[in-house]
Amino acid sequence: MPAKKKLQIHFVQIKILNNSHLELIMNKLLILLIAIVFVACDKENTVTINTNISDPEVPQLLIMNEVEMIFDTISDFNGTPFVLPVGEKPSILKVQFGRLADYIYISPGAEITINKERGSRVFNIENSNDAEQKLLAEFDKQMDIASAKYSLNEIANGSEEDFEHALSLKYEEVNKLLAEHQDASQDLISWLEARIIANKIESKVYYPDYYEYIKKEEPVISADFYKTENDLDLSRKELFYFDDMKSAALSLLGRGVNFEDYEDFTEYYAARYKVIDERVENPEIAEILKFGIINDKINYAGGIQGFEDQINEYLKIAKDPNKKIAIENQVAKWAHLKKGAVAPDFTALTRDGEEVKLSDLKGKHVYIDVWATWCGPCLAEIPSLKSMEEKYHGQNLEFVSVSIDKESDREKWKNFVMEKDLKGIQIMTNEAWQAKMTTDYNISGIPRFIMIDENGALVSADAPRPSNTVSFTKMVDGLLN
């Protein structure tokens, strides 16, 4: 449905003569005046979005701007224009369907048409702000090309000087693009310049980790290496129209918060959450970034357990109703996996095709490793897992490794288990990511470790990794003793 129009009425004192005909004319003029003001104000505070969607697989489009808290959906593709209220200044909208997304430059009164043909992997956007829309689209295209050509895997294996030189080459084309389009909105150019700085800062944040991974040694970094950070103003809320800006800001704020310094993921994410309070003064930006931290913690670090204080604080201060609803839905999704809840039962098969049920192991503490043969971080945990199995051999603790390899890779999994002489109970689901076990435990990333006590109750839906020997030993010894 078209958005409700805002009516601004200017009260004008009109002296009506004692003449019914003149009075009728003046009343009509007054009505016409109000109508003109209505249309003018409406036009000035909205954008009109037309859709030309010939792809039957796209039932609706999500339109959003997180900064101004604009969230709406377009599902009527029959040619009726969609009128969206906007602010008084130019800004950016994001149009999205699933993983397909694009940015739209908008200004009050803009006319936009979103085109999407069946099979196309992009939106084709026509905009009355033609110069700005074309610049925005070309910028994203050139950044994608540059990021692929100068990926960290390719450029983070050299010295600091070599890395800096590679970064200067990486942004040559986008800088040239902005220089050639000075006829476009200076606001947009400023935002895109900031995105370049943000991308550069994020690359620098990750450079030491990539270098150490590739070269197996720490890089030599000068005191001035991170000075670029001062060029990024985290108080400029308009920069947060863009997803890459949010990613860069979280990376920048997370620099110096190293997982190795904390006992578990919960403490690590709590420290990152705290940094936002310490370094981000703009409450709107802080809300956007805190949402990102909470969302990552829930989805990639075992749900809400241990993070309840941060979640409750966020729900109290958040102004964006959509983000509050999203977090509340996430909390509800994880409610059945709280500490002390009955662990969801599941069934998987051994190498010999025998069924093993979690409930069959009741009476023993159970440590579950959810993994796959293709998962590098999973394989990296195997030596530590073997060490812990040896340490607690003969005690009331069962180690269960659940593979979520594809059914077509069952033989590959069997051979891997034999070749690596994997101990404990080795079982495999037959539906990979769609297995009941992965959905019941909200598993969206692996490795994932789960601890269940002898009564079948959850100790942790995201237990410490075996390589985190301090936290792992503390947890297991607490159960056994």
- DSSP string spanning 415-465? HHHHHTT--SEEEE-SSGGGSHHHHHTT--SSSEEEEE-TTSBEEETTPPP
Q: Which amino acid is residue 158, in one-letter code? A: G
Long-range Cβ contacts of 32-37 (<8 Å, 24+ apart): 34/7, 34/9, 37/7, 37/8, 37/9, 37/10
- Joined together, the tokens standing for residue 379 give 């394989």
- 296: nearest Cα among 122, 108, 462: 462
CB 171 within 8 A of CB 200: yes
Phi first, then psi: what are they for 434, rounded to 5°? -90, 5
- 279: nearest Cα among 257, 306, 295: 257
Span 142-184, pLDDT tens digits: 999 999 999 999 999 999 999 999 999 999 999 999 999 989 9
Span 387-403, pLDDT tens digits: 999 999 999 999 999 99
Query: Percentage of the chain with pLDDT > 90?
Result: 72
Query: Does position 43 have pLDDT exceeding 60, yes or no?
Result: no
Span 225-246, pLDDT tens digits: 998 888 888 889 999 999 999 9
pLDDT bracket for residue 420 (50, 70, 90): very high
Distance CA 124, CA 120 (A): 9
Q: Give residue for tokens 């950070």.
A: 229
Q: What integer is the mean pLDDT of 119-136? A: 93
Predicted pLDDT of residue 37: 39
Predicted pLDDT of residue 444: 85
Predicted pLDDT of residue 76: 86
Span 183-223, pLDDT tens digits: 999 999 999 999 999 999 999 999 999 999 899 999 999 99
3-state SS, residue 250: helix
Predicted pLDDT of residue 305: 82
pLDDT bracket for residue 98 (50, 70, 90): confident
Predicted pLDDT of residue 1: 38
Element (H, E) at 183: none
**DSSP track, 192-203:** HHHHHHHHHHHH
Span 259-285, pLDDT tens digits: 878 877 888 999 999 999 999 999 999
Show the beta-strand stretches assigned E in 195-249.
none
Query: Does position 295 have pLDDT exceeding 60, yes or no?
Result: yes
Predicted pLDDT of residue 3: 39
Predicted pLDDT of residue 44: 66
Query: Percentage of the chain with pLDDT > 70?
Result: 91
Predicted pLDDT of residue 38: 39
Span 296-332, pLDDT tens digits: 898 877 788 889 999 999 999 999 998 999 999 999 9
Distances (CA, A) of 346 to 142, 357, 431: 47, 6, 12
Cross-strand bridge partners of residue 371: 403
Residue that wins the pLDDT comparison between 23 and 247: 247
Predicted pLDDT of residue 78: 80
CB 440 within 8 A of CB 346: yes
Query: Does position 347 have pLDDT exceeding 90, yes or no?
Result: yes
Sequence-separated (6 or more) residues with CB below 8 Å from residue 222? 160
Predicted pLDDT of residue 21: 44
Predicted pLDDT of residue 33: 41
Distances (CA, A) of 35 to 7, 14, 79, 258, 460: 9, 17, 25, 61, 63
Cross-strand bridge partners of residue 92: 105
Round the average pLDDT of the chain to a whole number and report it: 88
- 302: nearest Cα among 268, 262, 272: 268
Predicted pLDDT of residue 334: 92
Span 6-30, pLDDT tens digits: 333 333 333 333 444 444 434 444 4
Q: Is residue 118 exposed (0-12), middle (13-18) or buried (19+ Cβ within 10 Å)? A: exposed
Query: Does position 454 have pLDDT exceeding 70, yes or no?
Result: yes
All structural domains of the chain:
45-128 (2.60.40), 143-337 (no CATH), 347-480 (3.40.30.10)
CA-based Rg of the chain, rounded to a whole angstrom?
28
Sequence-separated (6 or more) residues with CB below 8 Å from residue 116? 52, 53, 54, 55, 58, 123, 124
Cross-strand bridge partners of residue 196: none
pLDDT bracket for residue 481 (50, 70, 90): confident
